[in-house]
Amino acid sequence: MKAIEDALFALFSGDDGTLVDPNGTTALNSLVGEEIYREGSVPAEAAFPRIQYGPCPGVDIFTFVSRSYERVTFPVKAVDSGLSAEAAFAIRQRIDFLLTDRPLELEAGTCIYLRRIGTFEQPEYDGDQHYQHVGADYQALVA
C-alpha cells in the first residue's frame, strides 16, 4: 500500500528526537541519517547502518455492504555490516517506539491500528563480509 510506504518514509526521515521515548531510544536521524529505503529501491552505494521497509501487501476485509478495512502486514528492518548487531538492535528499538500504538498519518485512508506482531534476526555471510538484518513485522488496519 503506497500510502503506508509514504507514511513510513516520512515518519522515519522526520524522526529528529521530538518524540521522546521514556526508554531512552535515540532518534533515527542520529542512527541512520538519510539511509532509509523502500525494499527493492536500495542503491548499490547505500551506506550502513540503514533502514529498509516494505513491501506492504494487504488483505481486504469486506462486510455485507463494502470494504470495511484493509489489513496490511509489512516488515521494517535495520541492516548493518560487521559482526555486531548492536546498532541494528538500537534502530529496531526506536522503530518499535515510533510504530507502537501510534497510527500513521496517511494520505489515503485512516490508520486505525498499528502494532508489532513479531521480530526477526538474520545474520548474513557473504564470503568474508558479515551483515546483520534485525527487524520486525508490523500490522496496520486501514479504513
Partner 1 sequence: MFDVSLGPDNSAAILREMERNLERAETESASRCAETARRTVRRRSGRTAASIEAHPDGSVTAGEASVFLERGTVRMPAFPFLGPAFDREVEPTVERMREI
Rule CB under 8 A: which residues touch partner 1? 39-40, 42, 52, 55, 57, 59, 61, 71, 73, 75, 77, 79, 81, 120, 122, 124, 126, 129, 131, 133, 135, 137
Q: Closer CB to partner 1, residue 11 or residue 72?
A: 72
In this structure, the dihedral spanned by the alpha carbons of residues 100, 111, 38 and 132, taken in order and rounded to 10 degrees, is 20
CB 48 → partner 1: shortest distance, Å?
A: 9
First to last CA, the chain: 12
Q: Closer CB to partner 1, residue 25 or residue 32?
A: 32
Q: Closer CB to partner 1, residue 59 or residue 83?
A: 59
Q: Closer CB to partner 1, residue 42 or residue 108?
A: 42
Q: Compute the distance between CA of residue 131 and CA of residue 124 in angstroms, rounded to an integer.
A: 5
Is the Cβ–Cβ distance between 111 and 72 less than 8 Å?
A: no
CB 18 → partner 1: shortest distance, Å?
A: 30
CB 81 → partner 1: shortest distance, Å?
A: 8
Cell of 92: 529496531
CB 42 → partner 1: shortest distance, Å?
A: 7
Question: What are the helix (H) ranges across 14-115?
Answer: 28-31, 86-99
Q: Closer CB to partner 1, residue 22 or residue 40?
A: 40
CB 60 → partner 1: shortest distance, Å?
A: 10
Which residues of the chain form beta strands (DSSP E)?
Answer: 36-38, 50-53, 58-62, 67-81, 111-126, 129-142
Cell of 2: 503506497
